Amino acid sequence: MFFTLGTARALASLEPPVAEIPLALTAHVDKTVLMATFVIAILAGLVFGILPAFRSSGLRPAGVLKEEGGSASSSIQKARLASALVVAQVAMSLLLLVCAGLFIRSIRQAQVFNPGFNPHHVLLDCYDLSGLGYDIKSSAEFHRHVFDKLRTLPGIESVSLADWIPLGFNFKTSTIEVEGYVPQSRESMDIGYADVGPDYLRTMQIPVISGREFTIADTNASRLVAIVNARFADRYWPHTDAIGKTLRMEGRLFTVVGIAKNSNYDTLGQETEAFFYLPLFQRSTRQIAIYVRVPGDPLASALPVQDAVHSLDADLPLFALSTLDSRIALNTTTQRLAGVFVGCFGIVALALAGIGIYGVLAYATRQRTQEIGIRMALGAQPQKVLGLVLGHGLRLVLVGLAIGLAASFALTRALAGQLFGISATDPLTYAGVAILLVVVALLACYIPARRAMRIDPVSAMRCE
């Protein structure tokens, strides 16, 4: 109970480090759950204590004495139930540890994965002109002033604006018509897109494969243009140059002026899909995200950026201050939570398996004291006795590993949708967990085995 109270506070450290996003973990111990768990634990202790008590109360003294006076092999029969429990503990431990290992490796993969853009050293801040008296024309002018103001700040590598944040909660799509492409029956032409300002690709460090990116000259007074990603060009204009092709959206015709490298848009590690960008200054939008790339700590530039925006409109509120790195951390919150919880359960299961193996072998060794004494009296070397006890323990572990591996292969497939960058049958994870369990089993077997090596044959036979 005290351990639960102490560790519950540690859950707060798993909250995603994104400011002003209403997502928080309830890191307190619920009294109802705690009391229910306490009652279940008491009942489990009573049930598993009463059953052996009833069994013992029905034994006949003469039968017990006859059994105890029998052969040494009778002790092995008594340990069968305990051995079965150890096998079950090993199998359950392996299953939980495999799940934990998969989630941990998934998190590590997410941390080193290249999403197609560079999220490091990018500051994000947002503003919304809705309800502040800005019409379509004045909104576009304000966005241009913000862009011009921010890119003159000292210590800034590049700046851009957009109406979205990749790997966020504002992914949008639209139905389009593509020049020269005839959709197949029931094929969806609902494609993801974003409205972005000049230097967006440069700020995100998304390579331009061919053509150009948007500039301040792309306004309502100029030709409507678009940039497509490589997947878009390969899908709709294979074996031909996409530059100069057109796409129609909401009755407006946009000419492709650039092809950008593929990246992740909605979910980290998602399958590559078609996507396109439209110039922010050619579209009417009021909610904007500011992107500022700096050489050092992004949050250190937050105040100058906010002061620059407020110099244009002192009453404009800014919100959702964060970094692009934190957005990726937010995108993997589910995996991190699952990894922590399953990992904790796996460690507990591993400890229980080690204790169970030790208990069974210690009991079995004590029950076989006479047998071991006879073996040593007949000339058996201590190393032979050590191998005998260790072999018995390892046989239990190997049976548990076989059952646990079969269960893991069957059950972890349900986790495939929650994993990133690895499969649910990742061989490295399975091998690592199996080796870990074998090492723990060897340590648990060693103490009873060492005790068996030191048995005095004369004392053992006299004791029996």
pLDDT of 330 strictly over 70: yes
Q: What is the per-residue pLDDT for 379?
A: 73
386 burial level (CB within 10 Å; 0-12, 13-18, 19+) = middle
Radius of gyration over alpha carbons of the chain, in Å? 33
Q: Could you give the CA distance from residue 253 to residue 181 in angstroms, rounded to a whole number?
A: 15
Token readout for 307 is 């002061």
User: Whole-angstrom distance between the N-terminal and C-terminal Cα of the chain?
Assistant: 43
Q: What are the residue ranges spanned by the domains of the chain?
A: 1-58, 80-115+332-464, 130-315
| 344 vs 27: CA distance, rounded Å | 16
Residue-wise over 135-172: b if at least 16 C-beta within 10 A, else e?
eeeebbebbbebbebbbeeeebebbbbbbbbbbbeebe
304 pLDDT band, cuts 50/70/90, is very high
399-437 pLDDT, tens digit each: 989 999 999 998 888 887 777 778 888 999 999 988 988
pLDDT at residue number 390: 79
Q: Is 401 left (phi over 0), alpha (psi -120 to 50) or beta?
A: alpha
* Coil/strand/helix, residue 133: coil
SS3 labels along 294-314: CCCCHHHHHHHHHHHHHCCCC
Highest mean pLDDT, choosing among 165-174, 193-202, 259-268: 193-202
- The pLDDT of 188-205, averaged and rounded, is 96
What is the per-residue pLDDT for 19? 45
CB 243, CB 271: distance < 8 Å: no
| pLDDT value, residue 231 | 96
pLDDT confidence tier of residue 314, bands split at 50, 70 and 90: very high
Q: Report how far residue 164's alpha carbon sits from residue 96's, in angstroms, rounded to the nearest whole number.
A: 39
pTM listed for this prediction: 0.70
Q: Which residue has the higher pLDDT, 387 or 324?
A: 324
Q: Which residue has the higher pLDDT, 456 or 281?
A: 281
For residue 229, the model assigns a pLDDT of 97
Greater model confidence, 444 or 71? 444
pLDDT at 370 over 80: no
pLDDT at 161: 97
Q: What is the band of 171 on the pLDDT scale with cuts at 50, 70, 90?
A: confident
The answer to whether the beta carbons of residues 118 and 205 sit under 8 Å apart is: yes
pLDDT the model gives residue 318: 94
Mean pLDDT confidence for 77-84: 68
Share of the chain above pLDDT 70, in %: 80
The least confident of 54-63, 146-155, 406-415 is 54-63
Q: How confident is the model at residue 72 (pLDDT cuts 50, 70, 90)?
A: very low
**Per-residue pLDDT at 329:** 77
pLDDT confidence of residue 24: 54
How many other C-beta atoms can be found within 10 angstroms of the C-beta atom of residue 343?
17
Q: Kindly report which listed range (7-21, 138-152, 269-283) carries the lowest average pLDDT score.
A: 7-21
Which tops the pLDDT comparison, 328 or 309? 309
